[in-house]
Structure 1
């Protein structure tokens, strides 16, 4: 039983031999693919329209508190089994935060985290740093853009302006944003750019910018002490504590030395938190691939040889 999140299309863009969802299905796993709210395949709502501001009034905190537990419950209800969780990038952040908050650890068998994101203070992607340091999220929010859709005129105009900054090469967007990928071929890039990146809320972008600038993983900061008190009962947003992830919960973490988003130094901070909380080699498997960057783990043609075979072994171990 395997549950993959959070943007389903991510796992299906390669060939059946090179896409993890197909690889797992071919090895006998019952694969459930989830989509984050607001992405192409997950835009419906019981009462709100996707054109309204209220529809987009959420950050990734809401995915932690509501969406991930609900999806896990949905899978368990229909299968009567605990699923494994597999995530990449933002999907790892949501899983780690949910596990640290005690939301899903008793409902899952394990979590596989590819390019795990918890800290962002060592991020080296030039465009990502510029977006965070120029408060792009707040800027877009001030302009009244609640949906961060990379293809919308409002967002493309802002990004085009940022692309003229020194050190930014938007003609090679993939490398400039994710790092020098090891086995991501040109045909794969063409397919990826047809579907990615998907829309999200501007509030989520602001939250990521806050995480980079603060160097601490906290819940969304409303900036106003009064509003923070209203939401959290304190003037500063509470921090997510990775060391609180249950010691006996099995984790597989795979990260790359060339990753400009999930920088190895930030992953090392996460690993230090987990070990400080008592995690050891008994239930925590760590894989470091010096030549891999951010997208190699899901779109790289060699991921099946370097990563997926170890993922399958890990899942079988704790199945």
Structure 2
């Protein structure tokens, strides 16, 4: 609860940037590292990361109720298909990255292709504002109004639109995998009564619902160095990690006494055990992605207030205008159906999905039906190990696959 809004906004930013930069060495300036990150491929995710390995892949689009056009990739089967009808799995990334993050390791070590080879119809989501989801029916990303959203809109529009699309195309309930922010807005959607009739089961990796115990050297430094919302700090509607204002912000923070930015990843997410430098270099070529500044402010409010609530407009009269009450409504996680099969996997070294915050989530889920909640604790894992760890197949993905197979 001690972290300020500014500290968390920075923290989330660096958490996404860190996997790309830490192993590429931070001896040079952050600006130089950002130049490497800007060299993203111009082709779609299917062409760059799936078709090259001999898998089928379709590039699709989904339009949300509020007009955002989202990119969606479908891997309908593995390399050795038996032609039977496949159960669908939707895979959702976290903040400041996109769907390609799941595909950086070799086919036998990345989750989407492992699931495809194990008989699943795999769908990869990309939230609004990311590289291939920067379109709208009436607005352009250069318009600040395009960025007037937070994860409330991901709860209300993005995830329901993608679920509707997958459900309509497959005629089956959808299994779900989320990492980090992808777990938060799935939990919030379920608590709001959304997705309930379409979700078959969910695997939540590095689950985030509460963030009160997040505490890192960079976060503490930011809390001391900056006051106020990041909108005031940067004055930006689009939070572009490749932009100069953000680079200046990070460089200033890394100069703060006692902060060691040599390894940003460890400083923010905890000490990841199992990352490969070549995978991180590939990460560098594709990420990070833009999000809305308001999205980061909303996440920061979750840190500050210690509850999972809708966006706080900062003034009681503004909240009254939007919600009919002076404070934002709370997402009541106890509303999540007790018979929904859940698999939660979290790490002992994860400084973002802290053990104490995960335990608070598990306490809320304690009334879950017997046999419907599976929990995996990995002592040596930190935040990025769940999506890029070389041994994630053996430690996490095989368990996720077996969990989904049990639901069929």
TM bucket, shorter chain: over 0.9
- Asked whether 1:209 is paired with 2:296, we answer no
Match of 1:4 in 2: 91
Conserved? CA contact 2:205–2:346, under 8 Å = yes
Task: Please show how residues 226-305 of structure 1 align to structure 2 within 5 Å.
Answer: 226-275=317-366, 278-305=367-394
Match of 1:122 in 2: 213
Q: CA RMSD in A?
A: 1.6
| CA apart distance, 1:129 | 4.9
| CA apart distance, 1:97 | 0.5
| CA apart distance, 1:290 | 0.5
Q: Which moved more, 1:169-178 or 1:209-218?
A: 169-178
Conserved? CA contact 1:135–1:206, under 8 Å = no
C-alpha distance in 1 between matches for 2:124 and 2:92: 6
TM-score (normalised: structure 1): 0.95
Task: Please show how residues 138-217 of structure 1 align to structure 2 within 5 Å.
Answer: 138-141=229-232, 143-217=234-308
Conserved? CA contact 1:131–1:137, under 8 Å = no
| CA apart distance, 1:307 | 0.6
Match of 1:64 in 2: 155
Match of 2:166 in 1: 75
**Counterparts in 2 of 1:135 and 1:34: CA distance versus 1, 3 Å:** farther
C-alpha distance in 1 between matches for 2:91 and 2:188: 16
| One of 145, 152, 157 as aligned partner of 1:54 | 145
TM-score (normalised: structure 2): 0.75
C-alpha distance in 1 between matches for 2:265 and 2:178: 20
**Counterparts in 2 of 1:131 and 1:62: CA distance versus 1, 3 Å:** farther
| One of 103, 106, 112 as aligned partner of 1:15 | 106
C-alpha distance in 2 between matches for 1:142 and 1:57: 17
| Number of aligned positions between the proteins | 317
Conserved? CA contact 1:180–1:293, under 8 Å = yes
Secondary structure of the structure 1 residue equivalent to 2:155 = helix
Tell me the alpha carbon deviations over residues 233-256 of structure 1, each in whole angstroms, 9 at most, x when there is no partner.
111111111111010011110000
- Asked whether 1:317 is paired with 2:406, we answer yes
**Counterparts in 2 of 1:47 and 1:137: CA distance versus 1, 3 Å:** farther
C-alpha distance in 1 between matches for 2:223 and 2:106: 34
C-alpha distance in 1 between matches for 2:218 and 2:279: 22
C-alpha distance in 2 between matches for 1:292 and 1:212: 22
Match of 2:185 in 1: 94
- Asked whether 1:107 is paired with 2:198, we answer yes
